[in-house]
Amino acid sequence: MQPAGRSLRKSVPRSAFGSWVPASDRPDPLALIAAEERGRVAELLPIRHERMRASPFAFYRGAAAVMAADLAGMAVTGLRAQLCGDAHLSNFGGFATPERRLVFDVNDFDETLPGPWEWDVLRLAASVEIAARDRNLGRKAREDAVCACGREYRLRMRELAALTPLEIWYSRIDVRRVAELHESRSMGPGEHLPPKLVRDEHGRLAFRANPPLVVPLDAADERAAGARSLLALYGASLPTHVRALIERYTLVGLARKVVGVGSVGTRCLVALFVTQRDEPLILQLKEATSSALEPYVAPSAFASHAERVVVGQRLMQAAADLFLGWTRIEEHDFYVRQLRDMKVTVDINLLNAAELADYASHCGWALARAHARTSDPQAIGEYLGRSGAFERALTDFAAAYADQNQRDYETFCKARWL
């Protein structure tokens, strides 16, 4: 009997992913971006727009809603997985497991929902092409990088198909090889205080003001009172042993912090805790809104968008943050996580052609491992096959969608944003 995954090629050939033609009724990308910004902090939106204008890749990072609408019109196999929802090169990186090992994985889940596995792969592939164009790499180098990403996804998915669900769940990617191969910024096990964020005032730790990006909150500020209430409620989402751990810390500072590109305008706070011996811990409280994928897939099973994010992260990551939890205050959902913990990031702007291809392949590997935890890796692996047909289609799609992104970026830059 022919394997189910392979039989799907008849209805959705792998070559079907090799083109991009905008629909005649394609939604206005500016309208999609404006709709996404409703309810955000208005005074921060100019920062978001400025960051998105920086380059086509920066625009792409902030335009997840645009691509979600585009992908919804494409043919898919019907095989599903828990999706990152915003799989681009800057949403991968290294971080510490609770056992203090560094691993490489997907690290952003604001848009996570179950959906077609192809959507994450297509978004990641297009991000490789767009990033390569930002680096002024030639066509051959761009194709090699996209192909490396798709090839690694295919090969790793086929490897994972031979493992048991438990073996897949325990599989991890050691970050040391990634850190060795690329220019990276990392924080060691004892470095929990980003110097640009926290200062030491005669032995007393406090957030460093850098308005409007970092604004420390006075104890009497209503936002500070709300954050303290939020943190008190957040404890209910934690396991008993983590609550016992966090109770050994005392809250000593709060600040509003602007983060990322696509997230700018959502409510985000950082909380500084210390022990009796002034040992620090920084938690981030980040607002979770509806996923960009939500209009095109089944609604989230969770009443709280923050719980959706937390559960999606736990499903996809090899090792989720120990302090990951969620709560709701007034009409806003927030998830909470450790701000930085032995973090390793790769500056894509510093990569040459060979390094970009290698980094893209690691991202493809991480995405395959994340998808395999909640999907049918055997069926996906059989569909992808032994040949390079899928990654060849990906390179064509990525080039065509990068052209579309360029057009959208130019339209965005010409628009008058309030």
Per-residue pLDDT of the chain (418 residues; tens, 9 = 90+): 345 788 999 999 999 999 899 999 999 999 999 999 999 999 999 999 999 999 999 999 999 999 999 999 999 999 999 999 999 999 998 877 766 677 899 999 999 999 999 999 999 999 999 999 999 999 999 999 999 999 999 999 999 999 999 999 999 987 765 655 554 444 444 445 677 889 987 778 899 999 999 999 987 677 778 788 888 889 999 999 999 999 999 999 999 999 889 999 999 999 999 998 888 999 999 999 999 999 999 889 999 999 999 999 999 999 888 999 999 988 899 999 998 655 677 889 899 999 999 999 999 999 999 999 999 999 999 999 999 999 999 999 999 999 999 999 999 999 976 4
Angle at 218 between CA 213 and CA 221, to 5 degrees: 95
| pLDDT for residue 329 | 85
Which tens digits make up the pLDDT trace of 56-72? 999 999 999 999 999 99
| pLDDT for residue 97 | 72
Helix/strand/coil for 366: helix
Whole-number Å distance between alpha carbons of 273 and 123: 37
DSSP assignment of 388-409 equals SHHHHHHHHHHHHHHHHHHHHH
Whole-number Å distance between alpha carbons of 210 and 16: 49
User: Helix crossing, 139-160 with 117-134: angle to 10°?
Assistant: 150
Question: What pTM did the predictor assign?
Answer: 0.93
Burial 129-159 (b: 16+ CB within 10 A, else e): bbbbbbbebeeebbbbbbbbbbbbbbbbbbb
The domain spans of the chain are 4-185+348-414, 198-338
Reference 20, options 85, 73, 79, 86; nearest CA is 73
Whole-number Å distance between alpha carbons of 216 and 254: 6
Burial 323-337 (b: 16+ CB within 10 A, else e): bbbbbbbeebbbbbb
How many CA atoms, within 13 angstroms, populate the side-chain half-sphere of residue 95?
21
| 239 contact partners, CB below 8 Å, separation of at least 6 | none
For residue 406, the one-letter residue type is Q
DSSP code, position 298: P
Number of CB atoms found within 10 A of residue 169's CB: 13
Burial 214-236 (b: 16+ CB within 10 A, else e): bbbbeeeeeebebbeebbeebee
| pLDDT for residue 193 | 64
For tokens 């830059």, the residue is 413
